[in-house]
Amino acid sequence: MDTGEPKAKKIKLEKKKISQNALFGMGNPLLDICAVVDKDFLDKYTLKPNDQILAEDKHKAMFEEIVKKFAVEYRAGGATQNSMKVAQWMIQKPSKVATFFGCIGEDRFGEILKEKAQEAHVDAHYYEQSKEPTGTCAACITGDNRSLVANLAAANCYKKDKHLDLEENWKLVKKAKVYYIAGFFLTVSPESILKVAKHASENNKIFGINLSAPFICQAFKDSLLKVMPYVDVLFGNETEAATFAREQGFETEDIVEIAMKTQSLPKVNKKRQRIVVFTQGKECTVMTKGDKVETFPVLQIEESEIVDTNGAGDAFVGGFLSELVQDKPLEQCIRAGHYAANVIIRHVGCTLPEKPDFH
């Protein structure tokens, strides 16, 4: 019976749909090979139980041996690829919001990397070549320790003209509105980074980079400074920030001052003020906003719950980008970064539960 009363309208609040390929990442794809090993194995390859090194000639054979001798787990790794994976995990749907470019070999490890990227719902487009094998990082676990040995190999072979410049690939770059590249890629293809950075700047899109490691701020500071005028969001941790400040002659060790001075470095796109985000482990995260610096406490966690802090920085960036690409406020981006890092450090390597619990 119609009572003549107005019917209540159903209001459906729709979450703004993010388009596929809205987030673009480019970097060094590495296949992480994780295994619990024994002391004899570490001794054989003169590895310290808790360390991170680049593979030398004496380590080359260990990548095959670890697979033959121990039960191994394979994970798609490398800093930028990790961040893309985490961002996609935070977003969940649609799949393939995150795009990733990098170089792999035409081999078994390359095939595994492709499978792993697919499982993570990341739209990975690799440049495949046969000169060098797929880059790998062996994570040799003994007790609570993990010794990391990275062999960049194919990751070092990325070529702008052979991949980035191709029309079908550049189309994917143009589809994005947020771009992120770890500083590690400055050692591989600075010209590729510049092409993407200039595109973002000219189209008023967001380009982010990470200082990544003290050696990037030192040995590759010229390449870094060439990209800096196009950087809208700069990430780093406290050690990298201090090294960057020393190399730039900032004459301060105060992280807030370093953030302000970094923010005010020359910038091409004046429509966006640069945002500088420095994490400090369990201490507060520092972020420039407008003409001031804000600090954000990280989520508390018991020491006993921390399994592996290695992927925390990559996860923080992934969380941050997952909100940034949805035009969320910067405070929300930081909160998402802290959440993702807090999840990651409870697991070995950059591994994730099925779904995030972030609101």
The DSSP result for 317-342, as a single string, is: HHHHHHHHTTT--HHHHHHHHHHHHH
Give the per-residue SS3 of 42-86: HHHCCCCCCEEEECCHHHCCHHHHHHHHCCEEEEEECHHHHHHHH
Catalytic-residue membership of 314: yes
Long-range Cβ pairs for the range 301-307 (8 Å, 24+): 301/342, 301/345, 301/346, 305/346, 306/345, 306/346, 307/345, 307/346, 307/347, 307/348
Which runs of consecutive H residues, i.e. helices, occur in the chain? 39-44, 62-69, 79-91, 108-119, 167-175, 190-202, 214-219, 221-227, 238-248, 255-263, 312-324, 330-344
Catalytic, out of 57, 314, 327, 357? 314
The Cα–Cα gap between 185 and 142 comes to 30
Enumerate residues 6+ apart whose C-beta is below 8 A from 196. Answer: 24, 26, 164, 173, 179, 181, 207
CA 64, distance to chain mean position in Å, is: 27
The Cα–Cα gap between 22 and 175 comes to 6
Q: Which tokens hold the place of 252? A: 């301060």
Region at 180 (left for phi over 0; alpha for psi -120 to 50; beta for the rest): beta
Torsion angle defined by CA atoms of residues 324, 327, 332 and 336, in that order, rounded to the nearest 10 degrees: -40
Which residues have a catalytic role annotated? 314
